[in-house]
Amino acid sequence: MPIKKVGVVGFTGVMGAGIVQLCAQSGYQVVGFSRNQERTKKALATIEKHLSRLVEKEKISPADKAAALARISTSDSMSALADCDLVIESAVENMELKKGVFAELDSVCRPDAILATNTSSLSIIDLAMATHRPNQVLGLHFFNPAPLMPLLEVVRTIATSDETLAIGKAFGESLNKTIIVARDAPGYIVNTLLIPYLLNAIRMLDRGQAAREDIDTAIKAGLNYPMGPLQVADYIGLDALLFIANIMYEESKEPQYAAPPLLKKMVTAGWLGRKSGKGFYEYR
């Protein structure tokens, strides 16, 4: 089944808006669903601003920008997604909320439509079983910012059909993404590698093994990484890091995913990284 029209649930968030922009720039008709009209206006303004920056940098033409914006429509009724070929859920990371979204999508979308989630950590088979079409559910895990980051994790559950997987991969390739296929296991591929790395850096700092600057400099200068682990943690958001680590630990019980006490204390204090102005570093 060729994908022509894409729906995005939760498009007013950072990831959702990025996915809408990416799909529109790639030639797809896109419907963004949100029941909050104020946030809808802000998301559309953000997309327009990002496209304007691309025009200023001469990466796209003014005509390209106008065409992308013309492909985007919004609605506060989920029935507007009824004729979409693919719907991508990008709501907040709450299992019960997402299950409700998938159950509602299952009732309004065409029987042959594919349902996908952008979750970075939750069990996709749990979401799939909230529908009557688990064979047509998969993960499409984009990375932030979605229009710029080259990777797409396509996540297959034990119920995802070969046809659904093939369509998901082809869709990702049409967005000019590098595709990797992951099993529906905690963290998929990227977070399974990334989370222990970040948590170990926090443990190292917590036990006084090295100063924060030296930990980050060691990775940047020694491994030629653009950012050190504590800088990456601040960029992701310490609350998001703690959330993902907790989910991975609860499902696997592997000690490498257990959150260090320092991380828990910083989240409790509201030191969440860049978005709060203070994390392992301070930001203005």
How far, in Å, CA of 221 to CA of 219, rounded? 6
Residue 281 domain-assigned (yes or no): no
Q: Find the catalytic residue in 90, 118, 121, 153.
A: 153
Q: Find the catalytic residue in 48, 120, 144, 251.
A: 120
Please identify, among 148, 183, 218, the residue that sits at the C-terminal boundary of a domain: 183
CATH code of 210's domain: 1.10.1040.10
List the structure tokens of 98: 């997402």
Listed residue (222, 220, 245) closest to 230, CA to CA: 220
Listed residue (93, 186, 185, 89) closest to 137, CA to CA: 89
Listed residue (57, 41, 43) closest to 15, CA to CA: 43
The residue range of the domain holding 77 is 5-183
Please identify, among 128, 159, 183, the residue that sits at the C-terminal boundary of a domain: 183
Query: Catalytic site residue 132?
Result: no
pTM for the structure as a whole? 0.91
pLDDT tens, residue by residue, 13-70: 889 999 999 999 999 999 999 999 999 999 999 999 999 999 999 999 999 999 999 9
Please identify, among 140, 161, 183, the residue that sits at the C-terminal boundary of a domain: 183
Residue 284 domain-assigned (yes or no): no
- Asked whether residue 256 falls in the same domain as residue 161, the answer is no
Query: Catalytic site residue 191?
Result: yes
Structural domain count, the chain:
2
Q: What is the pLDDT along the chain (284 residues), one digit of tens a residue?
A: 789 999 999 999 889 999 999 999 999 999 999 999 999 999 999 999 999 999 999 999 999 999 999 999 999 999 999 999 999 999 988 899 999 999 999 999 999 999 999 998 899 999 999 999 999 999 999 998 999 999 999 999 999 999 999 999 999 999 999 999 999 998 899 999 999 999 999 999 999 999 999 999 999 999 999 999 999 999 999 999 999 999 999 988 999 999 999 999 999 999 999 999 999 999 98
- Asked whether residue 19 falls in the same domain as residue 143, the answer is yes
Q: Find the catalytic residue in 89, 118, 121, 141.
A: 141
- Residue pair 103/153 in contact by the 8 Å Cβ criterion: no
Q: Where are the beta strands (DSSP E) in the chain?
A: 5-9, 29-33, 72-75, 86-89, 114-117, 137-142, 151-156, 178-183
- Asked whether residue 119 falls in the same domain as residue 141, the answer is yes
- Asked whether residue 12 falls in the same domain as residue 72, the answer is yes
- Asked whether residue 246 falls in the same domain as residue 136, the answer is no
Query: Catalytic site residue 141?
Result: yes
pLDDT tens, residue by residue, 146-164: 999 999 999 999 999 999 9
How far, in Å, CA of 70 to CA of 215, rounded? 47
Query: Catalytic site residue 36?
Result: no
Q: Find the catalytic residue in 34, 118, 121, 191.
A: 191
Show Cβ contacts of residue 30 under 8 Å, excluding neighbours closer than 6 positions: 5, 6, 7, 8, 20, 23, 24, 71, 72, 73
